[in-house]
C-alpha cells in the first residue's frame, strides 16, 4: 500500500486487530449459549436467535421506561437491563424446556423442527407486541463514541464493552461448568445420563436449568448486541447460521473449542474482508470452514463423550 | 408384470394409494379448480418432489438434509438459464448496450455472455444439466462427509451452511446470476410459450406424471434389497457396517438420488412459475421442505405429496385471510407434528382410515407388512 | 431513443387478445346482466355516478358502489420492517378518498395480501389479485426483486401497479407507475450539492450487494469522475444482512475520503451506522451522504448515531409546508404518534391519489384507458412533498431534498433542488 505513512499503517493494523477481536467477542457471545445447549444436551435450538432478540427488546423496554420515569438513571440502566435480559430469557427458556424440549430428548433432529416452529411463533409475537419496525434503544453516553489512545487510533467503546461482557460470560460459563457442583452434574449427565441418574442426580432438573442458562446467555448476547446491531422482530435470524457454524466448527461440548473457533473464524473473516470485499470475505470464510469440517468432522476440539 | 406390480407400484396397498393420488392430481384438481388455482397446485407439486426426495433421504436413510432447497434451486437455475437465453434473443433485447445477453447482465455492465452460460443454449444440455449439476454437487458433498463418517446433526448443520454459502454466492455474483432479483421474465421453452392457458394445463399434467414416476421409482428402489439395507442402516448403522457393507456408499447413493429428485422439481417449478429466485436455495425453503415431508409422515412417499399440498394450501389460505396469523399457524404446525403426530398424515391414515380403505379393497390381506420403524425409536447416542 | 425501443416488446404483448379470453364465461354473463340493469337505473337514481358498464369493460371488480383494489406488501419476514410505512400510508390515502366519495362514485375496497418478503410469493399473490379478484389496481412491492417478480404477471394480465420505492431505474413498464424516484433523480443533484457545499474531491462508495446500490453507485461513479472531476477512492458492497463493518470502516479510515457515499439497506444499515459512530466517524468531522436512510430507518438506527449525516430523499417528515403538516397530523392520528413517516411512506400515499386522478381523467377503470390518462402528462397531485407531476414515462417529476439528521431522528432540510425530470434510461451510464 504505497502512499501511506508508517504511522497510518500502524494505526490501521491496531484498529484492524481490534475489529477482529471485536468480531471474535460477538461470535463468542452468540455461540456460548448454544454451545451449552447443543454441546451439553444435544438439542438443536433453532430459536436461539429469537432468545437473543428477547434480550435486545429487554434493553429497548428498559431504555424507554428509564427515559420516561427515571431520567436520572439513564447512565446506569444498561447494566441492570443486561441482568434482566438474562432473567427474562432464562425464564422463557425454562418454560420452553418444560413445555417442548423435554419431550424430544430422544429425537435430536426433531428438536430442530420444533424449535424452528418456535422461532416462527416468537417472531410473530415480537411483531405483534413491538410492531414490525426496527426499534432503537437510547444508549448511555459512556457506551458511545471511541477511545483515542493516539490521534490516529480510534477504539470503539461499544466494541470494548462487547469484549468485556464476553470475557465475563465466558469466565462465568467455565466456572459454572467446571468449578461448580452444578456443572459437575451437568457434565455427568452429558456423559452418562443413566449412571448420573442412578447416583442421585435429578437429570430432568439438570436439563431444564442447563437449557434455561443457555437461553439466558443468548439473552445477554442479544442485549449486548443492541450496541452494534439492529433490533427488530427478525434480527435474531441473522445470527443463527453463524452461531451454529461456530459451535460445530469448535467441536460440540467443548468450551475451549467454541472459544478457539470463534477466534479463528473472526480473524479470518475480518482480515479477508479487509483485503477482499465484504461479501467475498464472508464466502471465503464459510467455504474454508466447510472444507476443514470435511477433514475434521468432529470440529477443532473433540470432547470425549461416550457413544 | 407381476414384478412391476409388487415392486414399482408397491403391491395392492401401494397401487391403491397411487391410484387415489393420480385421480386426485389428474381428475379432481383440474375439475375443481380454475386455471389460476390449478397453476398454484402445480407449483406446490414441484415442492413435493423435494419432499419425496426427503422421504428417501431422511425417512429411510436417516440423513436429515437441510440443504434440499439447494438442489431444487440448482435444477431450477439450470432450467431458468436456458429459458432466459431464449427470451434474450438479439431482437427483443436490441435496446440493450449489448444485445443478445440477458437483461440483468446488461444492467451489470457485463458485455459478454459468461462462458458457463454458453452450453445452456442447448435444450438437451440443459435437461442433462438439470439432473447432473445437483447430482454431482450432492455426490461431492456426501462423499466428503459420509466417507469420513460425518452424520446426524453435523450433516444437517453443514448442509444448512452450504445453503447459506450458495445464497451469498448467487446473490453476490449478480452479473452472472441475476443476484437477489433472480432470473425473471421467462417466456418460451424451445419456442413454445409457457404462459398460455393450454401450456399451463400441459405442464401441470407433465409435472403430475413425473411426480408419480418418481414415486414409483422410489418404491422400486425401496422394495429391493437396497431398501431393506437402508432401513437397517438408519436404525443400527454400526451393525450394517460390521456385516461388511460400506455404509457410506449407500448413503451417498440415497443423498444423491434425493438431490436429483429435488432438481427435477426445481426445473418444473421454473416452467410453471416463470422465474427463478435465489430465495429458493436459501435456508428457509429447505427447512419448509423438511416440514412437508414430516407432515406427510416421513416414511410415506405419497404422504409427502399430501403433506406438501396441505401446508402450502394452509399458507395460501392463511396469508389471504389473516396474514399476521400465518407464522403462528406454521409454527404451531411444526411443533404439533413433532410433538403429537410424529407419523404425520400417514400416521393418521393408519389409525383412522386404513381399516375402512382396506375393507373397501375387498378385505385383502397384505403380503408384506412393511416393517418400518419410525425414527422416533432410534437412540440419542446414535444420532450424536 | 433507448427508451422507445425498450417499450415495444412488452407494450405490444400486453394488448394481445389472449388476455381477454382468460375470463370465465359465468362472470361475463353476470356482468352483462348487471350492466343492463344498471343502464336502466342510471338515468334516474345514480346521478353523477357513471354506470358500471361504462367505466369497466374488462370485467374488473367494479360494482356500482364499490371498486376493489389490491395491496401487496410484506407484512411478515425481513422486509416487514420497511414496508409497514407504505402499507399504512396507502390505507390512509384510500380512507381519505373514500371519505371524499370514492373514485367515480365508487368506494374503494382493499384486499390486502402478504408477500412475506419472498419474491415467488409476490408473483403468486399478484396473480391471485389479478386473476381471481380482478382488482382494478395494485398498490405494492418495496424491493426491486419483488417488483421484477410481479412485473411479468402484470404485463400478462394487464394489471396496474403503483410502486412507492426509490429504485435503480432501467425499467419502464406500461403497467407500473413509479411514485418513488429513479436513480438519476436521487443521485446527481445530491452529488452536485455535496461537491459544491463541501468542496469534496474524493469519494468512498459503499452499498449493500444487490441491483439498486450497484446501479446507483455506477451512476455516481461516472458522474463523480466525468462531471465533478473527483476521484472514487473505494467502492465496496456488503452482503445483505451483514452486521460486521469493522474492516470496511478501517479501509475508509485508511483512504480518508472527503465524502462517504452510502446505500446500505436493512438490518445492515443499523450495524453500519452504529459501528461508524463507535469508530469515531461522526457528522462532526466527516461528510456522509446516504441514499437509504429515511425516518423509518432512522428510527431503528437511533438519531444519535446519524447526527450530522446527510440523506438525499424527495421527502422528509420535517418539511415545513401546510400540506405536509396536515398530512403528518392525519397520519399520526391514524397510526399513532410514534409512527415515523419516511420517503417511501409518503410515496406510498401518493399512489392511490394518482390512481384516482388517472381514473377520473380516463372516466374508466379499464387498464388501457387509465394508462392512456397516466401518459397524457396531465396528471398531477398536490402531495405532502409539494406538487408532483406524472410524466409520460410513468415516473414522477419531483424535487430532491438533502436532510441533515438531528439527534431526535428527524432531519433538517438543508437543500431543495429544482424539479428534476425522471430519466430511467440515462444515456452514457
Q: What is the pLDDT of residues B150-189, one digit of tens each?
A: 777 778 888 888 888 888 888 878 888 988 889 988 889 9
Mean pLDDT over A236-245 rounds to: 83
Instruction: Classify residue C423: in a domain, yes or no.
Output: no
Same domain, yes or no, for C261 and C376?
no
What are the chain B neighbours of A272 within 8 Å (beta carbons)? none
- Rounded-to-integer distance, Cα C286 and Cα C259, Å: 7
What pLDDT, on a 0 to 100 scale, did the predictor assign at position C344? 95
Residue percentage of chain A with pLDDT more than 70 = 96
Same domain, yes or no, for C302 and C342?
no
What pLDDT, on a 0 to 100 scale, did the predictor assign at position B150? 76
Residues 251-310 of chain C whose Cβ lies under 8 A from any Cβ of chain A = 251, 253-254, 267, 269-271, 274-275, 277-280, 282, 296-297, 299-302, 304
Would the pLDDT of B40 be above 50? Answer: yes
Instruction: Classify residue C331: in a domain, yes or no.
Output: no
Would the pLDDT of A47 be above 50? Answer: yes
What pLDDT, on a 0 to 100 scale, did the predictor assign at position B378? 39
Q: List the single range of A17-26, B29-38, B276-285, C36-45 with lowest mean pLDDT.
A: C36-45
- Rounded-to-integer distance, Cα A267 and Cα A273, Å: 10
- Domain containing residue C45: 2-181+336-397
Provide the Cα torsion C162, C165, C167, C171; round to 10°. 0
What pLDDT, on a 0 to 100 scale, did the predictor assign at position B357? 65
Name the residue with higher pLDDT: A305 or B94.
Answer: B94
Min Cα distance B311 → chain C (Å) is 14
- CA A151-A156-A158 angle, 5° bins: 155
Chain B interface disruption, residue of A95, A96, A108, A130, most B CBs within 10 A: A108
The answer to whether B294 touches B337, Cβ cutoff 8 Å, is: yes
- CA C262-C267-C272 angle, 5° bins: 40
- The answer to whether A114 contacts chain B (CB < 8 Å) is yes
Would the pLDDT of B382 be above 50? Answer: no
Residue among B159, B140, B127 at smallest CA distance from B263: B127
- The answer to whether A285 contacts chain C (CB < 8 Å) is no
Residue among A237, B215, B61, B305 at smallest CA distance from C78: A237
Residue percentage of chain C with pLDDT more than 70 = 89
Mean pLDDT over C326-330 rounds to: 95
Residue among B305, B345, B310 at smallest CA distance from B330: B310
Quote helix, strand, coil % in chain B, to nearest 5.
75, 0, 25
Backbone phi, psi, residue B182, to 5°: 80, -165
Strand pairing report for C138-140 and C161-163: parallel
What pLDDT, on a 0 to 100 scale, did the predictor assign at position C392? 94
In tens, the pLDDT along A170-190 reads 999 989 888 998 889 988 888
What pLDDT, on a 0 to 100 scale, did the predictor assign at position A285? 86
What pLDDT, on a 0 to 100 scale, did the predictor assign at position C362? 94
- Rounded-to-integer distance, Cα A23 and Cα C52, Å: 63
Same domain, yes or no, for C200 and C293?
yes
Instruction: Classify residue C72: in a domain, yes or no.
Output: yes
Min Cα distance C42 → chain B (Å) is 34
- Rounded-to-integer distance, Cα C151 and Cα A185, Å: 60
In this prediction the ipTM stands at: 0.82
Mean pLDDT estimate for chain B: 85
What pLDDT, on a 0 to 100 scale, did the predictor assign at position A278? 75
In tens, the pLDDT along A273-284 reads 888 877 778 878
In tens, the pLDDT along A2-46 reads 566 777 778 888 888 888 888 899 889 889 998 888 877 888 888
Q: List the single range of B36-40, B241-245, C237-241 with lowest mean pLDDT.
A: C237-241
What pLDDT, on a 0 to 100 scale, did the predictor assign at position C422? 95
What pLDDT, on a 0 to 100 scale, did the predictor assign at position A302? 65
- The answer to whether C17 contacts chain B (CB < 8 Å) is no
* Element at B21 (helix H, strand E): helix B11-23
Same domain, yes or no, for C140 and C252?
no
Residues 33-62 of chain B whose Cβ lies under 8 A from any Cβ of chain A = none
Same domain, yes or no, for C175 and C27?
yes
In tens, the pLDDT along C66-102 reads 999 999 999 887 788 789 899 999 999 999 999 999 9
In tens, the pLDDT along A32-44 reads 998 888 877 888 8
- Rounded-to-integer distance, Cα B9 and Cα B17, Å: 9
The answer to whether A109 touches B64, Cβ cutoff 8 Å, is: yes
In tens, the pLDDT along C194-228 reads 999 999 999 999 998 888 898 899 999 999 999 99
What pLDDT, on a 0 to 100 scale, did the predictor assign at position C11? 37
In tens, the pLDDT along B126-159 reads 999 999 999 999 999 899 888 887 777 778 888 8
In tens, the pLDDT along C385-420 reads 999 999 999 999 999 999 999 999 999 999 999 999
Residues 287-306 of chain B whose Cβ lies under 8 A from any Cβ of chain A = 287, 290-291, 294
- The answer to whether B195 contacts chain C (CB < 8 Å) is yes
Name the residue with higher pLDDT: C33 or A191.
Answer: A191
Q: List the single range of B79-83, B113-117, B331-335, C365-369 with lowest mean pLDDT.
A: B331-335
Same domain, yes or no, for C167 and C199?
no
Sign of CA dihedral A33, A39, A41, A45: positive
Same domain, yes or no, for C155 and C200?
no
* Element at C390 (helix H, strand E): strand C386-390
Mean pLDDT over B53-77 rounds to: 93
- CA B53-B55-B57 angle, 5° bins: 70
Same domain, yes or no, for C306 and C192?
yes
Please give, one letter per residue, the 3-state secondary structure of chain C. Answer: CHHHHHHHHHHHHHCCCHHHHCCCHHHHHHHHHHHHHHHHHHHHHCCCCCCHHHHCCCCCCECCCEEEEEEEECCCCCCHHHHHHHHHHHHHHHHHHHHCCCECCEEEEEEEEECCCCHHHHHHHHHHHHHHCCCCCEEECCCHHHHHHHHHHHHHHCCCEEECCCECCCCCCCCEEECCCEHHHHHHHHHHHHHHHHCCCEEEEEEECCHHHHHHHHHHHHHHHHCCCCEEEEEEEECCCCCCCHHHHHHHHHHCCCEEEEECCCHHHHHHHHHHHHCCCCCCCCEEEECCCCHHHHHHHCHHHHCCCEEEECCCCCCCCHHHHHHHHHHHHHHCCCCCCCHHHHHHHHHHHHHHHHHHHHCCCCHHHHHHHHCCCCCEEEECCEEEEECCCCEEEECCEEEEECCCCCEEEEEECCCECCCCCCCCC
What pLDDT, on a 0 to 100 scale, did the predictor assign at position A19? 85
Mean pLDDT over A128-137 rounds to: 85
Q: Number of C-alpha atoms within 13 angstroms, CB side, residue B102?
A: 29
Q: Number of C-alpha atoms within 13 angstroms, CB side, residue C373?
A: 20
Categorize the per-residue pLDDT at B360 as very low, low, confident or very high, splitting at 50, 70 and 90.
low
What pLDDT, on a 0 to 100 scale, did the predictor assign at position B316? 81
What pLDDT, on a 0 to 100 scale, did the predictor assign at position A286? 81
Find chains touching chain A: ≥3 CB pairs under 8 Å: B, C
- Rounded-to-integer distance, Cα A278 and Cα C210, Å: 13
In tens, the pLDDT along C178-202 reads 999 999 999 999 999 999 999 999 9
Domain ranges of chain B: 7-282
Q: What is the CATH number of the domain that holds C73?
A: 3.40.50.2300
- Rounded-to-integer distance, Cα A148 and Cα C5, Å: 58
Chain C interface disruption, residue of A134, A157, A160, A242, most C CBs within 10 A: A134
CB contact under 8 A, B179 and C210: yes
Backbone phi, psi, residue C387, to 5°: -65, 135
Name the residue with higher pLDDT: B360 or B208.
Answer: B208
Radius of gyration of chain C (CA): 22
Would the pLDDT of A194 be above 90? Answer: no
Give the N- to C-terminal CA distance of chain C in Å, as an integer. 14
CB contact under 8 A, A15 and C270: no
β-sheet with C380-383: strand ranges across: C380-383, C386-390, C396-397
What pLDDT, on a 0 to 100 scale, did the predictor assign at position A155? 84
Mean pLDDT estimate for chain C: 86
Tally of domains within chain C: 2
What are the chain C neighbours of A139 within 8 Å (beta carbons)? 302, 304
Backbone phi, psi, residue C413, to 5°: -80, 115
Residues 44-83 of chain C whose Cβ lies under 8 A from any Cβ of chain A = 75-78, 80-81, 83
Q: List the single range of B169-173, C13-17, C172-176 with lowest mean pLDDT.
A: C13-17
Residue of B nearest to A44 (CA): B153
Strand pairing report for C231-238 and C202-208: parallel
What pLDDT, on a 0 to 100 scale, did the predictor assign at position C321? 95
* Cell digits of residue C233: 477512492
In tens, the pLDDT along C117-148 reads 888 889 989 999 999 999 999 999 999 889 99
The answer to whether B172 touches C239, Cβ cutoff 8 Å, is: yes
Would the pLDDT of B85 be above 90? Answer: yes
The answer to whether C209 touches C238, Cβ cutoff 8 Å, is: yes
* Cell digits of residue C112: 390486502
Mean pLDDT over B52-75 rounds to: 92
Amino acid at each position: 500500500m504505497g502512499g501511506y505513512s508508517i504511522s497510518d499503517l500502524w494505526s490501521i493494523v491496531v484498529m484492524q486487530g481490534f475489529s477482529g477481536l471485536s468480531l471474535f467477542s460477538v461470535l463468542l457471545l452468540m455461540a456460548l449459549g448454544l454451545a451449552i445447549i447443543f454441546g451439553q444436551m444435544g438439542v438443536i435450538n433453532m430459536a436461539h436467535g429469537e432468545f437473543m432478540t428477547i434480550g435486545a427488546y429487554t434493553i429497548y423496554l428498559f431504555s424507554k421506561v428509564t427515559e420516561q420515569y427515571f431520567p436520572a438513571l439513564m447512565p446506569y440502566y444498561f447494566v441492570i437491563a443486561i441482568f434482566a435480559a438474562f432473567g427474562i430469557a432464562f425464564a422463557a427458556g425454562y418454560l420452553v424446556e418444560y413445555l417442548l424440549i423435554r419431550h424430544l430428548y430422544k429425537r435430536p433432529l426433531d428438536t430442530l423442527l420444533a424449535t424452528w416452529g418456535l422461532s416462527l411463533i416468537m417472531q410473530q409475537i415480537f411483531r405483534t407486541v413491538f410492531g414490525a419496525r426496527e426499534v432503537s434503544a437510547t444508549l448511555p453516553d459512556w457506551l458511545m463514541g471511541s477511545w483515542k489512545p493516539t490521534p490516529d487510533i480510534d477504539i470503539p467503546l461499544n466494541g470494548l464493552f462487547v469484549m468485556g461482557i464476553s470475557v465475563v460470560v465466558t469466565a462465568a460459563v467455565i466456572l459454572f461448568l467446571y468449578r461448580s457442583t452444578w456443572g459437575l452434574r451437568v457434565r455427568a449427565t452429558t456423559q452418562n445420563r443413566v449412571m448420573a441418574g442412578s447416583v442421585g442426580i435429578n437429570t430432568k432438573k439438570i436439563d431444564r436449568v442447563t437449557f434455561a442458562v443457555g437461553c439466558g446467555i443468548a439473552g445477554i448476547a442479544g442485549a449486548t448486541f443492541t450496541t452494534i446491531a439492529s433490533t427488530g422482530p427478525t434480527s435474531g435470524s441473522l445470527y443463527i447460521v453463524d452461531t451454529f457454524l461456530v459451535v460445530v466448527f469448535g467441536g460440540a461440548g467443548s468450551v475451549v473449542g467454541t472459544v478457539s473457533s470463534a477466534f479463528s473464524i473472526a480473524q479470518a473473516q475480518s482480515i479477508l474482508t479487509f483485503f477482499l470485499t465484504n461479501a467475498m470475505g464472508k464466502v471465503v470464510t464459510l467455504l474454508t470452514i466447510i472444507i476443514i469440517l470435511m477433514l475434521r468432522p468432529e470440529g477443532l476440539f473433540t470432547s470425549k463423550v461416550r457413544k | 408384470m407381476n414384478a412391476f406390480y409388487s415392486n414399482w407400484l408397491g403391491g395392492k396397498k401401494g397401487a391403491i394409494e397411487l391410484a387415489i393420488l393420480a385421480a386426485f392430481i389428474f381428475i379432481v384438481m383440474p375439475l375443481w379448480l380454475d386455471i389460476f388455482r390449478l397453476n398454484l397446485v402445480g407449483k406446490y407439486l414441484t415442492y413435493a418432489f423435494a419432499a419425496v426426495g426427503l422421504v428417501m433421504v431422511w425417512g429411510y436413510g436417516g440423513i436429515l438434509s437441510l440443504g434440499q432447497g439447494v438442489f431444487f434451486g440448482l435444477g431450477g437455475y439450470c432450467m431458468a438459464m436456458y429459458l432466459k437465453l431464449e427470451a434474450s434473443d438479439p431482437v427483443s433485447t436490441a435496446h440493450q448496450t449489448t444485445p443478445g445477453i440477458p437483461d440483468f447482465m446488461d444492467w451489470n455492465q457485463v458485455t459478454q455472455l459468461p462462458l458457463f452460460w454458453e452450453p445452456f443454449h442447448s435444450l438437451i444440455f440443459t435437461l442433462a444439466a438439470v439432473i447432473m449439476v445437483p447430482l454431482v454437487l450432492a455426490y461431492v458433498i456426501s462423499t466428503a462427509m459420509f466417507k469420513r463418517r460425518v452424520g446426524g446433526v453435523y450433516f444437517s448443520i453443514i448442509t444448512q451452511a452450504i445453503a447459506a454459502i450458495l445464497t451469498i454466492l448467487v446473490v453476490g455474483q449478480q452479473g452472472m446470476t441475476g443476484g437477489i432479483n433472480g432470473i425473471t421474465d421467462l417466456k418460451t421453452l424451445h419456442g413454445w410459450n409457457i404462459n398460455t392457458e393450454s401450456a399451463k394445463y400441459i405442464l401441470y399434467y407433465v409435472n403430475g406424471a413425473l411426480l408419480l414416476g418418481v414415486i414409483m421409482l422410489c418404491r422400486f428402489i425401496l422394495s429391493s434389497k437396497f431398501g431393506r439395507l437402508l432401513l437397517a442402516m438408519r436404525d443400527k448403522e454400526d451393525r450394517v457396517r460390521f456385516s461388511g457393507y460400506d455404509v457410506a456408499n449407500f448413503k451417498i447413493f440415497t443423498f444423491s438420488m434425493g438431490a436429483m429428485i429435488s432438481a427435477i422439481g426445481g426445473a418444473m417449478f421454473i416452467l410453471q412459475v416463470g422465474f427463478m429466485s435465489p430465495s429458493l436455495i436459501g435456508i428457509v425453503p429447505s427447512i419448509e421442505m423438511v416440514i412437508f415431508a414430516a407432515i406427510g409422515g416421513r416414511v410415506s412417499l405419497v404422504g409427502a405429496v399430501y403433506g406438501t399440498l396441505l401446508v402450502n394450501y394452509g399458507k395460501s389460505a392463511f396469508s389471504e385471510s389473516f396474514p399476521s396469523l400465518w407464522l403462528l399457524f406454521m409454527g404451531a404446525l411444526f411443533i404439533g407434528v413433532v410433538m403429537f403426530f410424529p407419523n404425520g398424515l400417514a400416521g393418521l391414515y393408519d389409525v383412522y382410515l386404513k381399516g375402512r380403505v382396506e375393507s373397501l379393497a375387498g378385505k385383502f390381506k397384505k403380503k408384506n407388512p412393511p416393517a418400518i420403524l419410525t425414527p422416533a425409536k432410534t437412540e440419542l447416542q446414535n444420532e450424536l | 431513443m433507448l427508451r422507445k425501443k425498450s417499450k415495444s416488446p412488452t407494450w405490444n404483448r400486453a394488448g394481445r387478445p389472449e388476455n381477454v379470453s382468460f375470463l370465465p364465461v359465468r362472470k361475463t354473463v353476470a356482468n352483462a346482466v348487471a350492466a343492463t340493469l344498471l343502464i336502466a337505473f342510471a338515468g334516474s337514481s345514480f346521478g353523477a355516478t357513471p354506470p358500471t358498464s361504462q367505466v369497466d369493460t374488462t370485467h374488473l371488480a367494479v360494482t356500482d358502489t364499490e371498486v376493489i383494489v389490491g395491496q401487496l406488501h410484506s407484512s411478515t419476514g425481513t422486509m416487514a420492517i420497511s414496508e409497514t410505512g407504505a402499507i399504512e400510508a396507502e390505507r390512509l390515502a384510500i380512507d381519505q378518498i373514500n371519505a371524499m366519495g370514492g373514485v367515480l362514485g365508487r368506494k374503494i375496497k382493499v384486499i390486502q395480501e402478504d408477500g412475506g418478503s419472498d419474491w415467488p410469493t409476490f408473483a403468486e399473490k399478484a396473480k391471485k389479485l389479478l386473476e381471481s379478484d380482478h382488482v382494478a389496481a395494485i398498490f405494492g412491492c418495496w424491493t426491486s426483486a419483488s417488483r421484477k417478480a410481479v412485473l411479468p404477471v402484470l404485463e400478462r394480465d394487464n394489471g396496474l401497479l403503483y410502486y412507492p420505492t426509490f429504485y435503480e431505474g432501467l425499467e419502464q413498464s406500461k403497467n407500473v407507475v413509479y411514485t418513488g424516484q429513479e436513480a438519476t433523480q436521487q443521485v446527481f443533484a445530491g452529488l452536485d450539492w455535496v461537491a459544491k457545499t463541501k468542496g469534496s474531491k474524493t469519494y468512498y462508495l459503499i452499498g449493500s450487494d444487490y441491483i439498486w446500490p450497484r446501479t446507483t453507485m455506477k451512476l455516481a461513479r461516472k458522474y463523480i469522475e466525468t462531471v465533478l472531476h473527483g476521484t472514487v477512492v473505494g467502492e465496496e458492497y456488503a452482503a445483505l444482512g451483514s452486521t460486521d463493518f469493522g474492516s470496511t470502516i478501517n479501509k475508509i479510515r485508511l483512504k480518508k475520503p472527503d465524502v462517504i457515499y452510502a446505500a446500505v439497506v436493512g438490518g445492515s444499515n443499523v450495524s453500519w451506522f452504529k459501528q461508524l459512530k463507535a469508530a469515531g466517524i461522526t457528522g462532526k468531522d466527516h461528510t456522509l451522504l446516504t441514499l437509504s436512510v429515511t425516518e423509518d430507518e432512522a428510527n431503528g438506527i437511533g438519531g444519535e448515531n446519524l447526527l450530522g449525516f446527510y440523506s438525499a430523499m424527495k421527502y422528509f417528515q420535517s418539511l415545513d409546508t401546510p400540506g405536509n403538516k396536515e398530512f403528518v397530523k392525519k397520519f399520526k392520528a391514524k397510526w399513532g404518534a410514534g409512527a415515523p413517516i419516511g420517503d417511501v411512506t409518503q410515496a406510498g400515499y401518493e399512489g392511490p391519489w394518482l390512481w384516482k386522478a388517472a381514473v377520473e381523467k380516463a372516466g374508466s377503470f379499464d387498464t388501457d384507458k387509465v394508462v392512456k390518462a397516466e401518459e397524457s402528462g396531465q396528471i398531477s397531485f398536490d402531495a405532502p412533498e409539494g406538487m408532483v407531476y406524472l410524466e409520460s414515462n410513468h415516473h414522477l417529476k419531483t424535487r430532491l431534498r438533502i436532510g441533515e439528521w438531528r439527534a431526535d431522528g428527524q432531519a433538517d432540510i438543508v437543500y431543495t433542488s429544482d424539479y428534476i425530470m425522471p430519466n430511467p434510461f440515462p444515456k452514457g451510464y
